[in-house]
Structure 1
């Protein structure tokens, strides 16, 4: 049991260290030596858990994707309104991108064309946004002439753009910046009488990782 716990801690340390190095320098320049040094383990320990850099990258993306799944499922569980749930999830995602290095590293890998692999991360986010907007359309929450497909494309494109820009300037991920985005978009998405009840700044408290600049 002690050995298993130690092995699990080492694996987590390696994934976190890999996420940090990938986020800082990119996939191709990152070396296994730099990752093992960052994690405080030997190269042999790294190779015990991961045969190569690709396997490490996949582990980072998988852990980040699981965080995104927990985030979106948690939002949907506590928020019945599909439009508000997308607003809330966007704020939480940006908070994790700002404060969770594994999520940040995972999304960085997703946009690294040098890897030439399809990432589960952006697909995971896109599927959830699309499903939420379908729910909004079925419930009559979307404005006349606005389709769930068009709305989801705009939201996914904007949030991926914020993620990319936030990689070099964290102010793009700030709660204030995301709120401004929704203040502009929500009046276009819905014309229902209760539109004023939607909270552009998010209806929930900031994510625990989201120590964002204002």
Structure 2
């Protein structure tokens, strides 16, 4: 058991180290030597656990997908405040993009022209946004003339831009930056019934307590991360 635990910790350390290297210099310009040196391990240790650099990239994508699922959670069909939940989750994602190197690297690989992986964190995020906005529409929280697809593209595009700009200036992932977007977006997005109750700065309380959604959750069809535990932080 102790040996298995050490092996798991070693893999986590290597994934975290590779995440930092990939994010800083890109997949093509990263090296096994740079990754191993960050952890004080030998190149042989990297090859023992992952075989090659591409295997490390795939491991990062899987861990990042689990971490993103931990940020978004499932889609509760009877959420009492779906738009506020979307706002709060976007704030949480922005914080994690600053603090979680694995999640950050996972999104970075998605925009790296030299990387061809099996996963796509941006698609995972877009699917979640679309389902959350669909819940909001079905509950009458969206303005009558709002097209869900248009709103999905807007939210996804802004988060993508924030992630890219934050690589040079962390202020783009700040609460203030995300709040500015929602101050502009919510008056156009929300119905009159809910507009006044929305908080673009995000809320500190859970409108939908964890564990109460039960079977009333909806995930993207065939989502391979359904039920996964949080991965490397």
TM-score normalised by L of structure 2: 0.83
Contact 2:141 2:193 in 1 (8 A): no
Give the gaps of 5 or more residues in structure 1.
206-214
Cα distance in 1 between the residues matched to 2:194 and 2:60: 41
TM-score normalised by L of structure 1: 0.90
| Alignment coverage as a number of residue pairs | 205
Cα distance in 1 between the residues matched to 2:28 and 2:66: 24
Cα distance in 2 between the residues matched to 1:192 and 1:137: 13
Q: 1:182 offset after TM fit, Å?
A: 0.2
Aligned to 1:102: 102
What SS does the corresponding residue of 2:73 show, helix, strand or coil? Answer: helix
Contact 2:133 2:148 in 1 (8 A): yes
Aligned to 2:219: none
Q: 1:75 offset after TM fit, Å?
A: 8.5
Aligned to 2:3: 3
Aligned to 2:213: none
Q: 1:118 offset after TM fit, Å?
A: 5.3
Matching of residue 33 in structure 1 with residue 33 in structure 2:
yes
Cα distance in 2 between the residues matched to 1:81 and 1:196: 12
Q: How does 1:112-151 map to 2 (within 5 A)?
A: 112-117=112-117, 119-151=119-151
183 and 58 in structure 1: CA distance in 2 versus 1, 3 angstrom threshold:
same
Q: 1:41 offset after TM fit, Å?
A: 1.2
Q: 1:191 offset after TM fit, Å?
A: 2.9
- State the 4+ residue runs in structure 1 displaced beyond 2 angstroms: 74-77, 116-120
75 and 138 in structure 1: CA distance in 2 versus 1, 3 angstrom threshold:
closer
Matching of residue 48 in structure 1 with residue 48 in structure 2:
yes
Cα distance in 2 between the residues matched to 1:28 and 1:173: 26
Q: 1:74 offset after TM fit, Å?
A: 6.8
29 and 63 in structure 1: CA distance in 2 versus 1, 3 angstrom threshold:
same
Aligned to 1:163: 163
Aligned to 1:176: 176
Matching of residue 81 in structure 1 with residue 81 in structure 2:
yes
Cα distance in 1 between the residues matched to 2:172 and 2:39: 29
Q: CA RMSD, aligned part only?
A: 1.8
Cα distance in 1 between the residues matched to 2:76 and 2:177: 23
Contact 1:97 1:163 in 2 (8 A): yes
Higher relative contact order (CA 8 A, sep 6+): 2
Contact 2:75 2:132 in 1 (8 A): no
Q: Which has a greater percent of helix?
A: 1
